[in-house]
Structure 1
Amino acid sequence: MPSIVADYRASAGIDIEHDRADRTAGNQLQMPVTVLQQNWGAALGFDAAAIWRAWAPDLRHVTVNHGHFMAEEAPVETTKEIRALLIR
């Protein structure tokens, strides 16, 4: 459990510094990326595609109707998207 807490703590601290350094250096992900975004996040105005496109020029963004545990709530759709990503 401590490693989970440390991961959350890092995402609000040192990860931000590392992200800024990468962005300043112009670093981007060189592999294809797929983002599955919950529809309620999009409805609240959270634009996951815009955020991720800055990091991943080869981005596929999909809005889904299931919740946080996508693999459990919609295993068929989640598997389909993972397979499509692996083919890309």
Structure 2
Amino acid sequence: MITIEINKVRQNLFQINGVEKKPLALPEADGPAVSRQEKVYVPVEEHPEYNFVGRILGPRGMTAKQLEQETGCKIMVRGRGSMRDKKK
């Protein structure tokens, strides 16, 4: 179910009816750069059997890197279970 939702979001973000979106031609920015931040809480307690961190990061972090390149956003996974080394 999560995989279906992830694929649906990717299609909406990066394609329209199978046709890749073209980058918008935007005018030069005026004033200082604005930084936005959004925390997204993952429902681990409702779905303890699902590996959310592994799904978000992907093999060698490739999924997160791809999403960062395509969206221009920085993706950080923090909290319990986000470290590869269980001792940390």
- TM-score norm. by structure 1 comes to 0.29
Q: So what's the TM-score if we normalise by structure 2? A: 0.29
Q: Of the two structures, which has the highest relative contact order with CA contacts closer than 8 Å and spacing of 6 or more? A: 1
Greater Rg over alpha carbons, structure: 2
Q: Which has the higher helix share?
A: 1
The structure with the largest strand share of the pair is 1
